[in-house]
Amino acid sequence: MAEMFGNGNDFDSKAFGLSAIAGMRSMAALALLAQDVTRRQPGTLDGTAFAWLKSPRAAVILAALALGEMLMDKTPFVPARILPMPLSGRMASGALVGAALNAERGEDSAQGAIRGAMIAGLATLAAYVVRMALGREITNVGAGLVEDGVVLSYGFDLIERP
């Protein structure tokens, strides 16, 4: 089972965590990844399809998109995350996170993408159930703010790790 989430004997908590965050806030996962990669500047991404993540400009743009997503999430206009289109977007974000982190380690990007998409999909469903239960106790805006707090605190903790 550990092989499903890491590289053999090593459980990759950053890839798992950022992929799970993609299931909660798709743009936050990418913004956190870009912040992490921009800060660390791993040379192993040079020459890959993920080298753009090292750009400070990409980190700023993704952070702005993540903030916009967090604001929009509190409105009644946003469809349920478990509908096909929103779910697909969250899984795509998880796939990008997983692929990029595997590429950084010199591992198979496709395997990382599949793993990241699966984790994001499962996290989407779990977060939906929690959000609906929490929404019965407090307002939708309050439940969304709690979710944002989890995303940001867990996410910043993840990217502070080596």
Global pTM reads 0.90
Per-residue pLDDT band for 69 (boundaries 50, 70, 90) equals very high
Any bridge partners for residue 11, and if so which?
6
CA 30 to chain centre: 6
The DSSP call for residue 46 is T
Q: Is residue 108 part of a domain?
A: yes
Q: Looking at the 3D structure of the chain, how many domains does it have?
A: 1
Q: Is residue 1 part of a domain?
A: no
Residue 81 sits in which domain range?
10-160
The DSSP call for residue 83 is S
Q: Which two tokens stand for residue 122?
A: 């499962």
Alpha-carbon torsion angle 93, 94, 95, 98, nearest 10? 130
Residue range 70-96, pLDDT digits in tens: 999 999 899 999 999 999 999 999 999
CB atoms within 10 A of CB 126: 13
The C-alpha atoms of residue 145 and residue 162 are separated, in whole angstroms, by: 28
pLDDT at residue 11, rounded to an integer: 54
Q: Which amino acid belongs to residue 49? A: A
Residue range 107-157, pLDDT digits in tens: 999 999 999 999 999 999 999 999 999 989 999 899 999 999 999 999 999
Residue range 97-107, pLDDT digits in tens: 999 999 999 99
